[in-house]
């Protein structure tokens, strides 16, 4: 059905200027398009196409996968992208054509390696944060190095991927690190916002929680994030209604909405250690963490470091990202605070204007 069938002409009215009439006409047309797209979304929903950038699976370990996104390789050093474990799937970083961080980075000539942690099941409930840092991440980093033939690797940690990477790099000074980028990754949990407050040991008994539940179900993860911003669904739906006339917005919404509603569970022991060592005891920034029998010291990081905070981030507020800069030994270090929230920092139109060019240019000058 063509959009022309939905048009209605606003009649001429006394005392109404032609300009006003034209603008009313535009609003009427938009309303018809809103109705059309709404009925399509309800009656004939289409599965959005996600992950458009070609990739190759390099290695798999249990549920985790290492993917390579090949570029024209204008830079010698490849980038290992370490996202969050649990919570959500990593296809947000390669959401749709012209709306993908990974696509952008490969276009800028970076070979990208994405560590997809996978979806853990009840058989993985014994997996700890330490296992992730000492068993999965080192192997994936080694495979990325072998696959690329490069001698050094830039590590880019997003969200929880940043403290995971920092714990590894801080306990493995011999790792051939070229650059480290922390994108919205909490480091100093004393400033980690509402989650830090809610997970405080005085109020939240993580041992009881894990012992009872075994793993952290996706629905609980969802409830926690929804509670963090209770008005999010309302504003999302109002924005959808407002932009429903625009087919590009609708396709972007469909892809993002699919991702936003696919919450992932946490392995129980991972969650226990994550909450205790990071949120409750803040051991990373205090230098009290040990991984695989080795002390974790952020002072062991000497490579150039870029930390990126998002102004409106309520998951990893800028105050908990910025301390990385003073905690490392690097002489080449920079902190930038960009517009947006935790997700819009890395996905969406704003990200393509602010964050992606910044990260790409910073890495390009050092790769």
Of 8, 24, 286, 364, the residue at the interface with other proteins (CB under 8 A) is: 24
Rule CB under 8 A: is residue 276 a binding residue for other proteins? Answer: no
- Sequence-distant (6+) residues with CB within 8 A of 121 are 63
Of 8, 238, 353, 365, the residue at the interface with other proteins (CB under 8 A) is: 238
Rule CB under 8 A: is residue 349 a binding residue for other proteins? Answer: no
CB of 348 to other proteins, least distance (A): 17
Cα radius of gyration (the chain): 23
Are residues 298 and 326 in contact, defined by beta-carbon separation less than 8 angstroms? no
Of 44, 208, 261, 293, the residue at the interface with other proteins (CB under 8 A) is: 208
CB of 226 to other proteins, least distance (A): 12
Q: 166-192 in b/e burial notation, b at 16+ Cβ within 10 A? A: bbbbbbbeebebbbbbbbbbbbbbebb
Q: What is the rounded CA–CA span in Å between residue 253 and residue 236?
A: 9
Sheet with 305-310, side-by-side order of all strands: 56-61, 64-69, 112-116, 79-82, 153-158, 177-183, 305-310, 333-338
Residues facing residue 115 across a β-bridge: 66
Rule CB under 8 A: is residue 2 a binding residue for other proteins? Answer: no
Of 44, 202, 293, 331, the residue at the interface with other proteins (CB under 8 A) is: 202
By CB under 8 A, the count of residues binding other proteins is 36
Is residue 87 classed as helix, strand or coil in its secondary structure? strand
Q: How many CB atoms lie within 10 A of CB 133?
A: 25
Closest CA to 109 of 83, 75, 78: 75
Binding residues among 114-133 for other proteins as defined by CB under 8 A = 121-124, 126
Q: What is the rounded CA–CA span in Å between residue 87 and residue 194?
A: 17
Rule CB under 8 A: is residue 200 a binding residue for other proteins? Answer: yes
Closer residue to other proteins, CB minimum distance, 113 or 120: 120
Of 209, 218, 257, 302, the residue at the interface with other proteins (CB under 8 A) is: 209
Tokens of 106: 């490969």
Helix axes 18-43, 247-260, angle to 10 degrees: 40
Q: What is the rounded CA–CA span in Å between residue 247 and residue 241?
A: 12
Binding residues among 139-158 for other proteins as defined by CB under 8 A = 139
Closer residue to other proteins, CB minimum distance, 3 or 241: 241
Are residues 73 and 29 in contact, defined by beta-carbon separation less than 8 angstroms? no
Q: What is the rounded CA–CA span in Å between residue 262 and residue 47?
A: 14
Stretch binding other proteins (CB under 8 A), from 90-98, 101-109, 205-213, 284-292:
205-213
Rule CB under 8 A: is residue 234 a binding residue for other proteins? Answer: yes
Burial of 88 (0-12, 13-18, 19+ CB in 10 A): buried
Stretch binding other proteins (CB under 8 A), from 164-172, 181-189, 230-238, 331-339:
230-238
Closer residue to other proteins, CB minimum distance, 140 or 360: 140
Q: How many CB atoms lie within 10 A of CB 5?
A: 8
Rule CB under 8 A: is residue 203 a binding residue for other proteins? Answer: yes
Stretch binding other proteins (CB under 8 A), from 65-73, 225-233, 269-277, 339-347:
225-233
Of 3, 176, 242, 288, the residue at the interface with other proteins (CB under 8 A) is: 242
The binding track of 314-343 with respect to other proteins, each residue x by CB under 8 A or -, is x-----------------------------
The binding site for other proteins (CB under 8 A) comprises 20, 23-24, 26-27, 61-62, 121-124, 126, 135, 139, 193-194, 197-198, 200, 202-205, 208-209, 212-213, 227, 229-231, 234-235, 238, 242, 314
């Amino acid at each position: 059905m063509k959009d022309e069938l939905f048009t209605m002409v606003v009649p001429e009215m006394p005392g109404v200027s032609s300009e006003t009439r034209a603008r009313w006409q535009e609003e009427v047309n938009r309303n018809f398009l809103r109705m059309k797209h709404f009925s399509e979304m309800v009656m004939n929903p289409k599965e959005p196409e996600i992950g458009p950038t070609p990739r190759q699976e390099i290695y798999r370990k249990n549920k985790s996968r290492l993917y390579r996104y090949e570029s024209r390789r204008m830079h010698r050093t490849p980038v290992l992208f370490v996202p969050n474990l649990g919570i959500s799937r990593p296809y947000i970083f390669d959401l749709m054509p012209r709306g993908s961080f990974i696509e952008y980075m490969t276009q800028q000539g970076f070979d990208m390696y994405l560590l997809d942690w996978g979806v853990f099941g009840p058989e993985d409930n014994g997996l700890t944060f330490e296992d992730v840092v000492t068993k999965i991440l080192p192997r994936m980093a080694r495979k990325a190095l072998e696959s690329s033939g490069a001698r050094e690797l830039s590590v880019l940690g997003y969200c929880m991927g940043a403290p995971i990477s920092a714990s590894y790099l801080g306990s493995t000074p011999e790792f051939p690190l070229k650059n480290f980028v922390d994108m919205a990754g909490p480091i100093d949990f004393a400033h980690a916002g509402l989650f830090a407050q809610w997970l405080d040991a005085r109020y939240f008994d993580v041992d009881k929680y894990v012992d009872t539940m075994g793993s952290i179900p996706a629905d609980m993860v969802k409830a926690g994030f929804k509670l963090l911003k209770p008005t999010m669904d309302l504003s999302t739906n109002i924005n959808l209604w407002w932009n429903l006339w625009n087919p590009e917005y609708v396709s972007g919404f469909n892809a993002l909405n699919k991702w936003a509603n696919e919450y992932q569970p946490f392995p129980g022991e991972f969650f226990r250690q994550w909450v205790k060592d990071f949120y409750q005891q803040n051991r990373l920034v205090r230098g009290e963490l040990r991984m695989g029998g080795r002390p974790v010291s952020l002072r062991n990081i000497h490579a150039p470091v870029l930390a990126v905070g998002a102004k409106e981030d309520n998951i990893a507020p800028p105050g908990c990202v910025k301390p990385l800069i003073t905690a490392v030994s690097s002489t080449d270090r920079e902190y930038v605070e960009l517009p947006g929230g935790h997700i819009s920092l890395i996905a969406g139109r704003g990200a393509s204007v602010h964050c992606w060019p910044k990260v790409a240019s910073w890495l390009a000058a050092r790769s």
